[in-house]
Structure 1
Amino acid sequence: MDSVAHSRRWHLWRKVGYPFWFSPQFSGVELTEIAHEMEKYLSREVKNIPPMKVNMLFQYKRPQYITMSTGAEWHLWNRKYFRYDLYAQQHALLSHIEKKFGNDAVVLYAAPSVLDVSELVKLKRVGSIIDSTNFRRACELDGHHRNTYIRAGTYSQACSEPERIDNFSLIEMIETVEPSQLRDNDELIVNFAKKIDSAMSEVKGLGCFKTAFEDRMNEFRDYELEQFDIIYAMLTMAVFREITGCQWLIPFDGRKSA
Protein backbone atom coordinates (compact mmCIF):
# COMPACT_ATOMS: atom_id res chain seq x y z
CA MET A 1 0.00 0.00 0.00
CA ASP A 2 2.88 2.39 0.74
CA SER A 3 4.26 1.90 -2.77
CA VAL A 4 0.90 2.67 -4.29
CA ALA A 5 0.29 5.70 -2.08
CA HIS A 6 3.65 7.21 -3.07
CA SER A 7 3.41 6.38 -6.75
CA ARG A 8 4.09 9.25 -9.15
CA ARG A 9 2.45 7.55 -12.09
CA TRP A 10 -0.35 9.87 -13.17
CA HIS A 11 -2.10 7.04 -15.03
CA LEU A 12 -2.54 5.13 -11.76
CA TRP A 13 -3.98 8.15 -9.96
CA ARG A 14 -6.38 8.83 -12.81
CA LYS A 15 -7.63 5.26 -12.44
CA VAL A 16 -8.72 5.96 -8.88
CA GLY A 17 -10.26 9.32 -9.77
CA TYR A 18 -7.53 11.83 -8.88
CA PRO A 19 -7.65 14.83 -9.19
CA PHE A 20 -11.03 14.52 -7.58
CA TRP A 21 -12.71 17.55 -9.15
CA PHE A 22 -12.76 15.71 -12.50
CA SER A 23 -14.61 12.65 -11.22
CA PRO A 24 -16.15 11.19 -8.02
CA GLN A 25 -13.64 10.30 -5.37
CA PHE A 26 -12.26 6.75 -5.74
CA SER A 27 -14.85 5.60 -8.23
CA GLY A 28 -12.79 2.45 -8.67
CA VAL A 29 -11.98 0.29 -11.68
CA GLU A 30 -13.81 -2.69 -13.11
CA LEU A 31 -12.07 -5.94 -12.15
CA THR A 32 -12.20 -7.15 -15.74
CA GLU A 33 -10.36 -3.99 -16.82
CA ILE A 34 -7.57 -4.72 -14.35
CA ALA A 35 -7.51 -8.37 -15.43
CA HIS A 36 -7.21 -7.31 -19.07
CA GLU A 37 -4.14 -5.19 -18.28
CA MET A 38 -2.60 -7.93 -16.14
CA GLU A 39 -3.20 -10.53 -18.86
CA LYS A 40 -1.26 -8.42 -21.36
CA TYR A 41 1.54 -7.88 -18.85
CA LEU A 42 1.83 -11.55 -17.85
CA SER A 43 1.65 -12.76 -21.45
CA ARG A 44 4.62 -10.56 -22.24
CA GLU A 45 6.62 -11.48 -19.13
CA VAL A 46 6.08 -15.24 -19.47
CA LYS A 47 7.64 -15.08 -22.93
CA ASN A 48 10.65 -13.17 -21.61
CA ILE A 49 11.84 -15.86 -19.18
CA PRO A 50 13.77 -19.05 -20.03
CA PRO A 51 11.79 -22.07 -21.27
CA MET A 52 9.93 -23.84 -18.48
CA LYS A 53 10.50 -27.58 -18.28
CA VAL A 54 7.92 -29.34 -16.13
CA ASN A 55 5.32 -28.56 -13.47
CA MET A 56 6.17 -29.72 -9.96
CA LEU A 57 3.92 -30.08 -6.94
CA PHE A 58 5.47 -30.42 -3.48
CA GLN A 59 3.48 -31.54 -0.46
CA TYR A 60 5.67 -30.61 2.47
CA LYS A 61 5.57 -32.82 5.55
CA ARG A 62 6.77 -32.06 9.05
CA PRO A 63 8.07 -35.39 10.35
CA GLN A 64 8.12 -36.77 13.86
CA TYR A 65 11.48 -37.91 15.20
CA ILE A 66 11.07 -41.23 16.97
CA THR A 67 13.72 -41.85 19.62
CA MET A 68 12.32 -44.79 21.60
CA SER A 69 11.92 -48.48 20.83
CA THR A 70 8.19 -48.20 21.53
CA GLY A 71 7.76 -46.50 18.14
CA ALA A 72 5.50 -48.58 15.91
CA GLU A 73 8.11 -48.83 13.15
CA TRP A 74 11.18 -49.22 15.36
CA HIS A 75 11.65 -52.84 14.26
CA LEU A 76 12.24 -51.65 10.70
CA TRP A 77 15.25 -49.56 11.68
CA ASN A 78 16.30 -50.51 15.22
CA ARG A 79 17.50 -46.95 15.65
CA LYS A 80 16.07 -43.40 15.81
CA TYR A 81 14.07 -42.48 12.73
CA PHE A 82 11.74 -39.93 11.13
CA ARG A 83 8.15 -40.60 10.12
CA TYR A 84 5.17 -38.74 8.70
CA ASP A 85 1.55 -39.69 8.10
CA LEU A 86 -0.37 -39.62 4.84
CA TYR A 87 -3.91 -38.25 4.78
CA ALA A 88 -6.31 -40.28 2.66
CA GLN A 89 -8.05 -37.41 0.84
CA GLN A 90 -4.86 -35.51 0.22
CA HIS A 91 -2.98 -38.57 -1.01
CA ALA A 92 -5.81 -39.70 -3.30
CA LEU A 93 -5.65 -36.31 -5.02
CA LEU A 94 -1.86 -36.21 -5.35
CA SER A 95 -1.66 -39.76 -6.67
CA HIS A 96 -4.43 -39.07 -9.18
CA ILE A 97 -2.66 -35.95 -10.43
CA GLU A 98 0.63 -37.80 -10.88
CA LYS A 99 -1.04 -40.58 -12.86
CA LYS A 100 -3.11 -38.11 -14.90
CA PHE A 101 -0.12 -36.04 -15.98
CA GLY A 102 2.54 -38.71 -16.44
CA ASN A 103 5.82 -37.05 -17.45
CA ASP A 104 4.15 -33.64 -17.64
CA ALA A 105 4.23 -33.22 -13.85
CA VAL A 106 6.28 -34.32 -10.87
CA VAL A 107 4.30 -34.79 -7.64
CA LEU A 108 6.35 -35.23 -4.49
CA TYR A 109 6.19 -35.45 -0.72
CA ALA A 110 9.08 -33.53 0.83
CA ALA A 111 10.11 -34.02 4.46
CA PRO A 112 13.27 -32.51 5.96
CA SER A 113 15.67 -34.57 8.06
CA VAL A 114 15.89 -31.98 10.83
CA LEU A 115 14.90 -31.87 14.47
CA ASP A 116 13.71 -28.27 14.74
CA VAL A 117 13.01 -25.09 12.78
CA SER A 118 16.33 -23.47 13.68
CA GLU A 119 18.18 -26.31 11.97
CA LEU A 120 15.97 -25.85 8.91
CA VAL A 121 16.80 -22.14 8.82
CA LYS A 122 20.52 -22.94 8.91
CA LEU A 123 20.13 -25.31 5.97
CA LYS A 124 18.29 -22.60 4.05
CA ARG A 125 21.09 -20.11 4.66
CA VAL A 126 23.74 -22.46 3.29
CA GLY A 127 21.57 -23.71 0.43
CA SER A 128 21.41 -27.33 1.59
CA ILE A 129 17.68 -27.96 2.05
CA ILE A 130 17.40 -30.27 -0.98
CA ASP A 131 20.34 -32.39 0.21
CA SER A 132 18.74 -32.67 3.65
CA THR A 133 15.22 -33.60 2.54
CA ASN A 134 13.54 -36.96 1.98
CA PHE A 135 11.61 -36.90 -1.31
CA ARG A 136 9.01 -39.48 -2.31
CA ARG A 137 6.87 -39.54 -5.43
CA ALA A 138 3.19 -39.68 -4.51
CA CYS A 139 2.50 -42.92 -6.40
CA GLU A 140 5.31 -44.67 -4.53
CA LEU A 141 3.25 -44.40 -1.36
CA ASP A 142 -0.01 -45.78 -2.76
CA GLY A 143 -1.52 -48.28 -0.35
CA HIS A 144 0.38 -46.89 2.63
CA HIS A 145 -0.56 -44.54 5.44
CA ARG A 146 2.92 -43.60 6.70
CA ASN A 147 6.48 -43.16 5.48
CA THR A 148 9.63 -43.62 7.56
CA TYR A 149 13.32 -42.84 6.99
CA ILE A 150 16.47 -42.29 9.03
CA ARG A 151 17.99 -39.43 7.03
CA ALA A 152 17.94 -37.81 3.62
CA GLY A 153 19.73 -39.62 0.81
CA THR A 154 18.78 -43.11 1.97
CA TYR A 155 15.88 -45.42 1.24
CA SER A 156 12.48 -45.16 2.93
CA GLN A 157 10.26 -47.79 4.51
CA ALA A 158 6.56 -47.17 3.90
CA CYS A 159 3.85 -48.73 6.06
CA SER A 160 1.45 -50.35 7.05
CA GLU A 161 2.74 -53.39 5.14
CA PRO A 162 6.45 -52.49 5.16
CA GLU A 163 7.88 -51.70 1.72
CA ARG A 164 11.39 -50.52 1.02
CA ILE A 165 11.49 -47.60 -1.45
CA ASP A 166 14.88 -46.70 -2.85
CA ASN A 167 16.23 -43.17 -2.80
CA PHE A 168 16.48 -40.96 -5.90
CA SER A 169 18.19 -37.69 -6.70
CA LEU A 170 15.71 -34.85 -7.14
CA ILE A 171 18.11 -32.82 -9.28
CA GLU A 172 18.86 -35.76 -11.57
CA MET A 173 15.17 -36.50 -11.93
CA ILE A 174 14.41 -32.90 -12.94
CA GLU A 175 17.26 -32.90 -15.45
CA THR A 176 16.21 -36.18 -17.09
CA VAL A 177 12.42 -35.89 -17.10
CA GLU A 178 11.04 -35.49 -20.61
CA PRO A 179 7.54 -33.98 -20.97
CA SER A 180 5.23 -35.66 -23.48
CA GLN A 181 5.46 -32.59 -25.71
CA LEU A 182 7.24 -29.27 -25.69
CA ARG A 183 5.05 -26.24 -25.06
CA ASP A 184 5.50 -22.50 -24.84
CA ASN A 185 5.60 -21.18 -21.29
CA ASP A 186 2.08 -19.78 -21.38
CA GLU A 187 0.68 -23.03 -22.81
CA LEU A 188 2.42 -25.08 -20.14
CA ILE A 189 0.91 -22.98 -17.35
CA VAL A 190 -2.60 -22.78 -18.80
CA ASN A 191 -2.86 -26.47 -19.69
CA PHE A 192 -1.59 -27.55 -16.28
CA ALA A 193 -4.10 -25.36 -14.46
CA LYS A 194 -6.96 -26.71 -16.57
CA LYS A 195 -6.01 -30.28 -15.73
CA ILE A 196 -5.72 -29.42 -12.03
CA ASP A 197 -9.22 -27.95 -12.20
CA SER A 198 -10.58 -31.14 -13.76
CA ALA A 199 -8.67 -33.34 -11.30
CA MET A 200 -10.40 -31.62 -8.40
CA SER A 201 -13.76 -32.72 -9.80
CA GLU A 202 -12.65 -36.22 -10.86
CA VAL A 203 -11.27 -37.56 -7.58
CA LYS A 204 -13.88 -39.19 -5.37
CA GLY A 205 -14.12 -38.60 -1.64
CA LEU A 206 -12.36 -35.24 -1.47
CA GLY A 207 -15.17 -33.81 0.66
CA CYS A 208 -14.36 -30.34 1.97
CA PHE A 209 -11.34 -30.03 -0.35
CA LYS A 210 -13.55 -30.19 -3.43
CA THR A 211 -16.27 -27.99 -1.93
CA ALA A 212 -13.83 -25.28 -0.86
CA PHE A 213 -12.09 -25.33 -4.24
CA GLU A 214 -15.32 -25.01 -6.20
CA ASP A 215 -16.64 -22.24 -3.96
CA ARG A 216 -13.48 -20.17 -4.44
CA MET A 217 -13.33 -20.76 -8.19
CA ASN A 218 -17.00 -19.87 -8.62
CA GLU A 219 -16.21 -16.42 -7.24
CA PHE A 220 -13.81 -15.83 -10.12
CA ARG A 221 -16.23 -17.27 -12.66
CA ASP A 222 -18.89 -14.87 -11.43
CA TYR A 223 -16.54 -12.03 -12.38
CA GLU A 224 -16.06 -13.62 -15.83
CA LEU A 225 -12.32 -14.02 -15.34
CA GLU A 226 -12.21 -17.28 -17.32
CA GLN A 227 -11.75 -15.19 -20.48
CA PHE A 228 -8.22 -14.30 -19.32
CA ASP A 229 -6.23 -17.52 -19.78
CA ILE A 230 -3.07 -16.79 -17.80
CA ILE A 231 -4.79 -14.82 -15.04
CA TYR A 232 -7.35 -17.59 -14.56
CA ALA A 233 -4.62 -20.24 -14.58
CA MET A 234 -2.71 -18.36 -11.89
CA LEU A 235 -5.87 -17.99 -9.82
CA THR A 236 -6.61 -21.70 -10.20
CA MET A 237 -3.18 -22.65 -8.91
CA ALA A 238 -3.38 -20.09 -6.09
CA VAL A 239 -6.66 -21.59 -4.90
CA PHE A 240 -5.29 -25.12 -5.28
CA ARG A 241 -2.32 -24.16 -3.12
CA GLU A 242 -4.57 -22.44 -0.58
CA ILE A 243 -6.88 -25.47 -0.27
CA THR A 244 -4.36 -28.33 -0.38
CA GLY A 245 -1.18 -26.77 0.97
CA CYS A 246 0.77 -27.95 -2.11
CA GLN A 247 3.57 -25.79 -3.43
CA TRP A 248 3.72 -25.29 -7.21
CA LEU A 249 7.13 -24.84 -8.80
CA ILE A 250 8.36 -24.83 -12.39
CA PRO A 251 12.11 -25.31 -12.98
CA PHE A 252 13.59 -23.65 -16.03
CA ASP A 253 15.02 -25.95 -18.68
CA GLY A 254 18.74 -26.39 -18.13
CA ARG A 255 18.67 -25.00 -14.58
CA LYS A 256 18.76 -26.78 -11.25
CA SER A 257 16.65 -24.32 -9.32
CA ALA A 258 12.98 -23.43 -9.68
Structure 2
Amino acid sequence: MDGGAPLPKPVPAGSYDPVAFRSNAYFRFFCFMFAQRAASGMRAMRIASWGMPKVAPGTPLVIFANHPSWWDGVMFPLLAKRLFHPRPIFVPMDAEAFARYGFMKRFGAFPVEQGSARGAVGFLHTAGAILAKPSHMLWMNAPGRFVDPRVRPQPISPGLVRLPEIAEAATFVPLALEYPFWAEPKAELLGAFGDPIPGTVLRAMGRDDRADALGAALHATMDRLAEDAQSRDPARFVTLQQGRQGMGGIYDVWRRTKALLGGRGFDPRHDPGAR
Protein backbone atom coordinates (compact mmCIF):
# COMPACT_ATOMS: atom_id res chain seq x y z
CA MET A 1 0.00 0.00 0.00
CA ASP A 2 1.38 3.41 -1.00
CA GLY A 3 -0.03 5.95 1.42
CA GLY A 4 2.55 8.60 0.60
CA ALA A 5 3.85 11.31 2.88
CA PRO A 6 1.42 13.08 5.21
CA LEU A 7 -0.29 16.12 3.77
CA PRO A 8 1.28 19.43 4.73
CA LYS A 9 -0.82 21.90 6.65
CA PRO A 10 -3.18 23.93 4.47
CA VAL A 11 -1.93 27.32 3.38
CA PRO A 12 -3.97 30.24 4.74
CA ALA A 13 -4.75 31.54 1.24
CA GLY A 14 -6.36 28.21 0.36
CA SER A 15 -8.66 28.11 3.37
CA TYR A 16 -11.77 28.83 1.29
CA ASP A 17 -14.90 27.20 2.74
CA PRO A 18 -17.43 26.32 -0.02
CA VAL A 19 -19.85 24.81 2.50
CA ALA A 20 -20.23 28.20 4.21
CA PHE A 21 -20.84 30.02 0.93
CA ARG A 22 -23.24 27.52 -0.60
CA SER A 23 -26.92 28.47 -0.77
CA ASN A 24 -29.73 26.04 -1.58
CA ALA A 25 -31.83 28.94 -2.90
CA TYR A 26 -29.06 30.02 -5.29
CA PHE A 27 -28.54 26.42 -6.37
CA ARG A 28 -32.23 26.02 -7.26
CA PHE A 29 -32.22 29.32 -9.14
CA PHE A 30 -29.15 28.50 -11.21
CA CYS A 31 -30.46 24.99 -11.92
CA PHE A 32 -33.55 26.67 -13.36
CA MET A 33 -31.37 28.95 -15.50
CA PHE A 34 -29.17 26.05 -16.63
CA ALA A 35 -32.26 24.00 -17.52
CA GLN A 36 -33.47 26.88 -19.71
CA ARG A 37 -30.04 27.10 -21.34
CA ALA A 38 -30.04 23.35 -22.03
CA ALA A 39 -33.58 23.48 -23.44
CA SER A 40 -32.65 26.24 -25.88
CA GLY A 41 -29.18 24.99 -26.81
CA MET A 42 -29.52 21.19 -26.94
CA ARG A 43 -32.09 18.69 -28.21
CA ALA A 44 -32.43 16.60 -25.04
CA MET A 45 -30.64 15.54 -21.88
CA ARG A 46 -30.54 11.76 -21.58
CA ILE A 47 -29.02 9.09 -19.34
CA ALA A 48 -28.31 5.61 -20.69
CA SER A 49 -30.89 3.16 -19.33
CA TRP A 50 -28.13 0.98 -17.85
CA GLY A 51 -26.26 4.03 -16.55
CA MET A 52 -28.54 5.43 -13.86
CA PRO A 53 -26.58 5.96 -10.61
CA LYS A 54 -26.38 2.96 -8.28
CA VAL A 55 -25.27 4.33 -4.91
CA ALA A 56 -26.49 3.71 -1.39
CA PRO A 57 -27.39 6.59 0.91
CA GLY A 58 -25.23 7.43 3.88
CA THR A 59 -21.86 7.71 2.17
CA PRO A 60 -20.14 10.74 0.62
CA LEU A 61 -19.74 10.56 -3.15
CA VAL A 62 -17.05 11.52 -5.62
CA ILE A 63 -18.42 11.71 -9.16
CA PHE A 64 -15.47 11.75 -11.57
CA ALA A 65 -16.24 12.47 -15.21
CA ASN A 66 -14.46 12.92 -18.50
CA HIS A 67 -14.28 16.52 -19.75
CA PRO A 68 -15.34 16.80 -23.41
CA SER A 69 -17.11 20.16 -23.42
CA TRP A 70 -18.17 23.42 -21.80
CA TRP A 71 -21.56 21.74 -21.37
CA ASP A 72 -20.15 19.64 -18.51
CA GLY A 73 -20.66 22.63 -16.22
CA VAL A 74 -24.36 22.61 -17.10
CA MET A 75 -24.74 18.85 -16.80
CA PHE A 76 -23.20 18.59 -13.31
CA PRO A 77 -25.79 20.64 -11.37
CA LEU A 78 -28.73 19.45 -13.48
CA LEU A 79 -27.87 15.77 -12.99
CA ALA A 80 -27.15 16.34 -9.31
CA LYS A 81 -30.53 17.99 -8.76
CA ARG A 82 -32.54 15.44 -10.74
CA LEU A 83 -30.80 12.22 -9.66
CA PHE A 84 -29.25 12.89 -6.23
CA HIS A 85 -31.57 15.40 -4.53
CA PRO A 86 -31.25 16.55 -1.74
CA ARG A 87 -27.48 15.87 -1.54
CA PRO A 88 -25.46 19.12 -1.78
CA ILE A 89 -23.04 19.27 -4.71
CA PHE A 90 -19.54 20.81 -4.63
CA VAL A 91 -17.35 21.35 -7.69
CA PRO A 92 -13.67 22.36 -7.97
CA MET A 93 -12.96 25.06 -10.57
CA ASP A 94 -9.84 26.54 -12.06
CA ALA A 95 -9.02 29.59 -9.93
CA GLU A 96 -8.90 31.94 -12.92
CA ALA A 97 -12.31 30.76 -14.17
CA PHE A 98 -13.68 31.01 -10.64
CA ALA A 99 -12.58 34.66 -10.50
CA ARG A 100 -14.60 35.35 -13.66
CA TYR A 101 -17.67 33.42 -12.49
CA GLY A 102 -17.68 34.22 -8.80
CA PHE A 103 -21.45 33.76 -8.56
CA MET A 104 -20.80 30.00 -8.77
CA LYS A 105 -19.49 29.96 -5.21
CA ARG A 106 -23.12 30.24 -4.11
CA PHE A 107 -23.92 26.73 -5.32
CA GLY A 108 -20.82 24.92 -4.13
CA ALA A 109 -17.97 25.73 -6.54
CA PHE A 110 -14.53 26.40 -5.10
CA PRO A 111 -11.25 27.60 -6.67
CA VAL A 112 -8.23 25.41 -7.34
CA GLU A 113 -4.89 26.89 -8.34
CA GLN A 114 -3.68 24.82 -11.30
CA GLY A 115 -0.16 23.49 -11.74
CA SER A 116 1.21 24.18 -8.26
CA ALA A 117 1.86 22.25 -5.05
CA ARG A 118 -0.03 24.96 -3.18
CA GLY A 119 -3.09 24.40 -5.36
CA ALA A 120 -2.91 20.61 -4.96
CA VAL A 121 -2.71 20.87 -1.18
CA GLY A 122 -5.56 23.37 -1.08
CA PHE A 123 -7.75 21.11 -3.22
CA LEU A 124 -7.14 18.04 -1.06
CA HIS A 125 -7.87 19.83 2.20
CA THR A 126 -11.02 21.46 0.86
CA ALA A 127 -12.22 18.21 -0.73
CA GLY A 128 -11.46 16.27 2.44
CA ALA A 129 -13.49 18.69 4.53
CA ILE A 130 -16.42 18.46 2.10
CA LEU A 131 -16.41 14.67 2.03
CA ALA A 132 -16.28 14.40 5.81
CA LYS A 133 -20.08 14.75 5.74
CA PRO A 134 -21.93 11.65 4.41
CA SER A 135 -24.55 13.63 2.50
CA HIS A 136 -22.04 15.64 0.48
CA MET A 137 -21.00 15.04 -3.14
CA LEU A 138 -17.89 16.19 -4.96
CA TRP A 139 -18.20 16.33 -8.76
CA MET A 140 -15.02 16.75 -10.77
CA ASN A 141 -13.58 16.27 -14.25
CA ALA A 142 -11.04 13.49 -14.01
CA PRO A 143 -8.61 14.88 -16.65
CA GLY A 144 -8.52 18.37 -15.11
CA ARG A 145 -8.71 19.86 -18.63
CA PHE A 146 -10.72 19.49 -21.84
CA VAL A 147 -10.07 16.16 -23.60
CA ASP A 148 -11.88 14.69 -26.61
CA PRO A 149 -14.04 11.69 -25.56
CA ARG A 150 -12.36 9.49 -28.19
CA VAL A 151 -8.92 9.85 -26.58
CA ARG A 152 -7.59 6.76 -24.79
CA PRO A 153 -6.29 6.74 -22.20
CA GLN A 154 -8.05 9.70 -20.64
CA PRO A 155 -5.75 11.63 -18.29
CA ILE A 156 -6.46 11.14 -14.58
CA SER A 157 -5.48 14.15 -12.49
CA PRO A 158 -3.09 13.64 -9.54
CA GLY A 159 -5.65 15.23 -7.21
CA LEU A 160 -8.23 12.56 -8.00
CA VAL A 161 -5.65 9.81 -7.61
CA ARG A 162 -4.67 11.04 -4.17
CA LEU A 163 -8.19 11.81 -2.97
CA PRO A 164 -8.94 8.30 -1.57
CA GLU A 165 -6.03 8.76 0.84
CA ILE A 166 -7.97 11.45 2.68
CA ALA A 167 -11.54 10.36 1.85
CA GLU A 168 -11.56 6.57 1.98
CA ALA A 169 -15.11 6.62 3.39
CA ALA A 170 -16.34 8.07 0.08
CA THR A 171 -17.70 6.10 -2.85
CA PHE A 172 -16.16 6.94 -6.25
CA VAL A 173 -18.50 6.84 -9.26
CA PRO A 174 -17.40 7.27 -12.91
CA LEU A 175 -19.54 9.45 -15.17
CA ALA A 176 -19.26 9.37 -18.96
CA LEU A 177 -20.42 12.43 -20.93
CA GLU A 178 -20.85 12.85 -24.68
CA TYR A 179 -22.59 15.42 -26.91
CA PRO A 180 -23.26 13.93 -30.37
CA PHE A 181 -25.43 15.30 -33.14
CA TRP A 182 -28.15 12.95 -34.37
CA ALA A 183 -30.96 13.90 -36.79
CA GLU A 184 -31.72 17.37 -35.44
CA PRO A 185 -29.83 20.70 -35.61
CA LYS A 186 -29.02 20.55 -31.90
CA ALA A 187 -26.80 18.05 -30.13
CA GLU A 188 -27.79 15.52 -27.48
CA LEU A 189 -26.58 15.77 -23.86
CA LEU A 190 -25.79 12.13 -23.07
CA GLY A 191 -24.50 10.69 -19.81
CA ALA A 192 -24.03 7.39 -17.99
CA PHE A 193 -22.84 6.46 -14.51
CA GLY A 194 -20.60 3.44 -14.07
CA ASP A 195 -20.22 0.99 -11.23
CA PRO A 196 -19.30 2.59 -7.88
CA ILE A 197 -15.89 1.92 -6.33
CA PRO A 198 -15.48 2.00 -2.52
CA GLY A 199 -12.84 4.46 -1.39
CA THR A 200 -11.39 1.78 0.88
CA VAL A 201 -10.61 -0.36 -2.18
CA LEU A 202 -8.84 2.53 -3.89
CA ARG A 203 -7.03 3.53 -0.70
CA ALA A 204 -5.49 0.07 -0.42
CA MET A 205 -3.82 0.44 -3.83
CA GLY A 206 -0.57 2.10 -4.74
CA ARG A 207 -1.00 5.35 -6.61
CA ASP A 208 -0.09 3.95 -10.02
CA ASP A 209 -2.53 1.07 -9.64
CA ARG A 210 -5.16 3.45 -8.31
CA ALA A 211 -4.79 5.73 -11.33
CA ASP A 212 -5.15 2.68 -13.59
CA ALA A 213 -8.27 1.53 -11.74
CA LEU A 214 -9.92 4.96 -11.95
CA GLY A 215 -9.03 5.24 -15.62
CA ALA A 216 -10.29 1.75 -16.42
CA ALA A 217 -13.64 2.43 -14.72
CA LEU A 218 -14.06 5.70 -16.60
CA HIS A 219 -13.01 4.20 -19.95
CA ALA A 220 -15.42 1.26 -19.59
CA THR A 221 -18.31 3.63 -18.89
CA MET A 222 -17.34 5.93 -21.78
CA ASP A 223 -17.01 3.01 -24.22
CA ARG A 224 -20.42 1.63 -23.35
CA LEU A 225 -22.03 5.08 -23.64
CA ALA A 226 -20.34 5.53 -27.04
CA GLU A 227 -22.06 2.37 -28.31
CA ASP A 228 -25.45 3.75 -27.33
CA ALA A 229 -24.63 7.17 -28.80
CA GLN A 230 -23.65 5.56 -32.12
CA SER A 231 -26.97 3.72 -32.23
CA ARG A 232 -28.74 7.12 -32.40
CA ASP A 233 -31.65 5.44 -30.62
CA PRO A 234 -33.34 7.49 -27.88
CA ALA A 235 -35.07 4.31 -26.66
CA ARG A 236 -31.76 3.25 -25.12
CA PHE A 237 -31.91 6.29 -22.83
CA VAL A 238 -33.99 7.81 -20.07
CA THR A 239 -34.86 11.34 -21.20
CA LEU A 240 -34.51 13.75 -18.27
CA GLN A 241 -35.25 16.92 -20.21
CA GLN A 242 -36.53 17.56 -23.73
CA GLY A 243 -35.21 20.61 -25.55
CA ARG A 244 -36.94 22.73 -28.13
CA GLN A 245 -37.41 20.94 -31.43
CA GLY A 246 -36.91 22.08 -35.02
CA MET A 247 -34.93 24.84 -36.71
CA GLY A 248 -36.65 27.69 -34.90
CA GLY A 249 -36.96 31.26 -36.11
CA ILE A 250 -38.70 32.44 -39.26
CA TYR A 251 -38.25 29.08 -41.00
CA ASP A 252 -40.38 27.22 -38.45
CA VAL A 253 -42.97 30.04 -38.39
CA TRP A 254 -43.34 29.59 -42.15
CA ARG A 255 -43.56 25.77 -41.84
CA ARG A 256 -46.16 26.02 -39.06
CA THR A 257 -48.28 28.50 -41.05
CA LYS A 258 -48.10 26.32 -44.17
CA ALA A 259 -49.19 23.26 -42.18
CA LEU A 260 -52.12 25.09 -40.58
CA LEU A 261 -53.31 26.48 -43.91
CA GLY A 262 -53.18 22.97 -45.31
CA GLY A 263 -55.17 21.56 -42.39
CA ARG A 264 -52.25 19.48 -41.14
CA GLY A 265 -50.63 19.15 -37.75
CA PHE A 266 -47.17 20.65 -37.38
CA ASP A 267 -44.16 18.60 -36.23
CA PRO A 268 -41.03 20.81 -35.95
CA ARG A 269 -38.57 17.90 -36.01
CA HIS A 270 -36.31 17.35 -39.01
CA ASP A 271 -36.92 13.61 -38.65
CA PRO A 272 -40.48 13.05 -37.37
CA GLY A 273 -39.74 9.35 -36.96
CA ALA A 274 -37.09 10.07 -34.34
CA ARG A 275 -38.18 10.39 -30.74
Q: Which has the higher contact order (CA 8 A, sep 6+)?
A: 2
Q: TM-score range by the shorter chain?
A: under 0.3
Higher percent of residues as helix: 1
TM-score (norm 2): 0.26
Over alpha carbons, which structure has the higher Rg?
1
- What is the TM-score of this pair, normalised by structure 1? 0.27
